[in-house]
Amino acid sequence: MTGEPRTTPFRMPEHLFAELASGGGSAPAVAFLEQGERARRLLLLRTLLKRVRDLPTPLTEAASAWQVFKEAAERAPEAVERLLLAPTTGAWIAHLLRRLHGTATGPPLWVEAARLNALAVAASLHAGTEASLRVALDDGALHLPGLGLARLPDGAPGPSAGRAGTRAGIMTLGGPDRGGRPTTLTCRPAPVPVDRPGPEDPVRLPPRTLTHPAPDDPGAPGWHPLRTLTHSTPAGPVAIPLEDLDPYRDLDGPIPPARLDHDEAVAWQRLFDEAAAILAGADGADGADGADGADGGAGARPGRLDPALIRSVVPWARTALLPPPPPEVRVSASSGDAYGAMVIARPSSALALAEALVHEFQHSKLAALIHLFPLVSDDRTERFYAPWRPDPRHLTGLLHGAYAFTGVAGFWRDRLADPAHAGTAAYHFALRRTQSRLVVRTLLTSGRLTEAGHALVTGLARTLDAWLREPVPAPARARARTAAALHRTEWRLRNLLPPPGRPAGPGPEGHSVPLGHGAGGSAAPDGLRFRSDRASWPDVRTPLFAVPPAEPGTPDEHLAAGDPAAAFDGYAKGLEREPGDPHLLAGRIVARAVLEPGPAARRALARPELLLPPPRAAG
């Protein structure tokens, strides 16, 4: 590892860019993105070191900590490189730079800057070097990136200064207790695989420590190792952090540890194993002509992912095994500052986890591309329709969605030949390819793409156009088309007001709709008026329409089951009780369009907000 800047231009070969522009990307293409992230990480770190050089601190100064880090890198370059490129390192650097620019808040600045000292201690432990550094403690605890959490017995509350000494992989941590007296802990820090007990899979013991082993509660004194998800590859096992301890594991500022209980961690490993097997099952799938990237093996085509590329999985809002989340609850997120990391609420199925892993890694790839190339000139105005969001989006968000959901469409395309998933796969593939292509058209006609951005989005369009020519069973295609129309209609009802004084013509049931407006693209035209009272709303229809209900009861279920007449009646009765309800009104508009297709239906779908009751005049 070196902190010296590159002396040659950083250029991406055209064939690698073309692979990524298709929505996929071979192993060499992804490796190039990782090289770019490394270069960016070093530049940001150099800027950070300059900014904290004169920061008042009771700890070892930054220059000395960085020297310990570099000496460890000479002895154990691969291990220390992993520390440098860890998602939490990127998140810390970005957050601290924002703090130094006055755009973020957090604990005392010297405490956050002391993360560098913790990185140096962790690097020294990996390399087996000898070092002694003054470090920041939080309630008597020191987090060691990539290793775990050490907590002193009866440590002093709040931030305090301690000392960490390392020698031959052993750490002695000292600091004040609650009474101000010195207290110490000696341990051999190391991560551990998640235990998977069973008759043929004995419990793996934590690494040897020189104190009593600590329980799972990170508030107890002792050593709390980072647990890792084990993934088998032809080159050997890969350890992927199941990150529940690092304060910089989230997408914003530092947060306290939230240790998973043992059963929940085991559940993650089992689900991850199953998700990895699903992803591996795509290796032999055939691609449509013109839809794939250059030959690069598994992972080159959109929707493919080698789980070994994941840098960490951060469990979201789950610290117990029960109750499992309902199938429609799928929460996942990622950040461009933390390449390869994904925050995920453990879903109820391996298929949902596999889809989430693909989705979030697509975001990581695009974020890395944006760090290399300006792709869009974005004024950050949130006025565009995104078919997977309840709110208006800016162009950068729209581009991220298009790239992520092109990958998701490819994921479901790979499941079409799998008897276990073929039914739902056909629906999701049909839905996501259509929605993604709609957004791609918005981007291409926005006039805001750079030359590189236009090349990228054109590559996505080429992939999606080829997929749109592929046959999908008619029932699944019809449900996907209906679900897409429902989302767009409800989005407009919840987010938009009709323009005042607009010429209108007669529409369904005597309401007024503008003349000459077809369904159009997803871009919000100039002059649209957004509601001031708009709020987030749940998209319950997209998952509902995946499988037609055998015994429909609600209007949505009747529509999903292919009975628009029963659905229309149900929506109409609901609107008698709740006039103007956007969910019910969207359903009635779409059900009517299915029953009576034609120009009037298309006009109603194009501007459904004109069917809402007019807003009351002020005063």
> Per DSSP, which regions of 341-448 are E strands?
341-344
Residue 584's nearest CA partner among 566, 599, 568, 597 is 568
pLDDT of residue 526: 56
Parallel/antiparallel/unpaired status of strands 505-506 and 512-513: antiparallel
Burial of 298 (0-12, 13-18, 19+ CB in 10 A): middle
* Least confident range of 96-105, 220-229, 469-478, 498-507: 498-507
What is the torsion angle, in degrees rounded to the nearest 10, for the CA atoms of residue 218, residue 222, residue 226 and residue 230? -120
Mean pLDDT of the chain: 87
The helix (H) or strand (E) run that includes residue 160 is: strand 159-167
Average pLDDT value for residue range 218-234: 92
And the tokens for 21? 């522009």
pLDDT of residue 168: 97
And the tokens for 6? 């590159």
pLDDT of residue 515: 31
Q: 303 in helix, strand or coil?
A: coil
pLDDT of residue 557: 97
Residue type, 59: L
Give the model confidence (pLDDT) of 335-354 as tens digits. 999 999 999 999 889 999 99
Residue 323 predicted with pLDDT over 90 = no
Average pLDDT value for residue range 31-59: 95
Q: How far apart are CA 44 and CA 90, in angstroms?
A: 9
- Which residues, other chains included, contact 583 with Cβ-Cβ below 8 Å and sequence gap of 6+? 490, 537
Average pLDDT value for residue range 176-180: 95
pLDDT of residue 318: 56
pLDDT of residue 499: 74
Beta bridge partners of 148: 144, 225
pLDDT of residue 10: 75
Query: pLDDT > 90: what percent of the chain?
Result: 76
Residue 145 near residue 119, CB atoms below 8 Å: yes
296 confidence band (pLDDT: 50, 70, 90) = very low
Q: 212 in helix, strand or coil?
A: coil
Residue 523 predicted with pLDDT over 60 = no
Q: How far is Cα of residue 354 from the mean position of the Cα atoms in its chain?
A: 13
Count the alpha carbons within 13 Å of 475 in the hemisphere toward its beta carbon.
14
Average pLDDT value for residue range 468-491: 97
pLDDT of residue 529: 86
Residue 271 or residue 282, greater confidence: 271
Parallel/antiparallel/unpaired status of strands 227-233 and 192-193: parallel
Classify the phi-psi angles of 297: left when phi > 0, otherwise alpha if psi is within -120 to 50, otherwise beta: left
Q: How far apart are CA 231 and CA 226, in angstroms?
A: 16
Q: How far apart are CA 268 and CA 274, in angstroms?
A: 10
Residue 232's nearest CA partner among 329, 325, 307, 140 is 307
Burial of 170 (0-12, 13-18, 19+ CB in 10 A): middle
Residue 219 predicted with pLDDT over 90 = no
Residue 146 predicted with pLDDT over 90 = yes
Average pLDDT value for residue range 461-487: 97
pLDDT of residue 287: 42
Q: How far apart are CA 379 and CA 256, in angstroms?
A: 35
Q: How far apart are CA 24 and CA 463, in angstroms?
A: 10
Average pLDDT value for residue range 445-462: 97
Burial of 451 (0-12, 13-18, 19+ CB in 10 A): exposed
Beta bridge partners of 170: 167
pLDDT of residue 316: 87
pLDDT of residue 422: 82
Q: How many CB atoms lie within 10 A of CB 318?
A: 19
Among 125-129, 261-265, 279-283, 536-540, top mean pLDDT goes to 125-129
And the tokens for 480? 């996907």
Give the model confidence (pLDDT) of 541-580 as tens digits. 999 999 999 999 999 999 999 999 999 999 999 999 999 8
Residue 582 predicted with pLDDT over 90 = yes
Average pLDDT value for residue range 233-256: 92
Q: How far apart are CA 492 and CA 481, in angstroms?
A: 17
pLDDT of residue 4: 52
Give the model confidence (pLDDT) of 383-394 as tens digits. 999 999 999 999
